[in-house]
Amino acid sequence: MRRTLLILAGLGLGVSAQAPPSPAATREANLKEYVALLRKDVNKDKVAILSDLMELSPEESAKFWPLYNEYDKALTKLLDNRVALIKMYADNYGKLTDQKAEEIATGILNMERDRIELRRQYLQRVGQALTVKLAVRFLQIETQLEKIIDLQIASSLPIVE
């Protein structure tokens, strides 16, 4: 919450000579800034946690981290879609039609399906590059971290009226 307030305060600096931004533009800027900060913090923490729990040798690390970076880029693209769906939900909250609610729910389910497929792909790729046990360890850690993040996001969203 403090970061959100700092973001809001920071957005107002240097714009005193300009017309104030519209509420929609402010909300959009805040959402983008919030997502950027969340990703930065989460990625920093995820890398530290993965580094600690994977217990890789230098040779294994040389094989694992390039694969992880590819995985993370692909995951980020999927999660961009989730951000867009959350924005759509926020923009329509209070006037949500059945059609829009179904569109959002279907989008979330499709994103989850794609995320599971991405995990399946990288389970195989990491298993081929390292060992199956290390690939399963990666999958286990990654899934646990994603579930924690998902819970934080889901618990911050209001229930459909």
Report pLDDT digits (tens) over 118-140: 999 999 999 999 999 999 999 99
Is residue 127 packed enough to be buried (19+ CB in 10 Å), middle (13-18) or exposed (0-12)?
A: middle
Question: Any idea which residue has 């924690």 for tokens?
Answer: 148
**If you average pLDDT over residues 39-65, what whole number do you get?**
87
pLDDT of 18 strictly over 80: no
Query: In this structure, is residue 41 part of a structural domain?
Result: no
Range of the domain at 139: 57-156
Query: In this structure, is residue 116 part of a structural domain?
Result: yes
* Assigned token pair, 44: 């920093």
Query: In this structure, is residue 144 part of a structural domain?
Result: yes
Query: In this structure, is residue 149 part of a structural domain?
Result: yes
Query: In this structure, is residue 75 part of a structural domain?
Result: yes
Query: In this structure, is residue 66 part of a structural domain?
Result: yes
| DSSP one-letter string for the chain | -HHHHHHHHHHHTT-TTSPPPPHHHHHHHHHHHHHHHHHHHHHHHHHHHHHHHH---HHHHHHHHHHHHHHHHHHHHHHHHHHHHHHHHHHHTTS--HHHHHHHHHHHHHHHHHHHHHHHHHHHHHHHHS-HHHHHHHHHHHHHHHHHHHHHHHHHSPPP-
Number of structural domains, the chain? 1
Residues 6+ apart with CB under 8 A from 127: 134, 135, 136
Give the per-residue pLDDT at 24.
61
Query: In this structure, is residue 44 part of a structural domain?
Result: no
Query: In this structure, is residue 101 part of a structural domain?
Result: yes
Q: What is the pTM of this model?
A: 0.72
**If you average pLDDT over residues 40-47, what whole number do you get?**
73
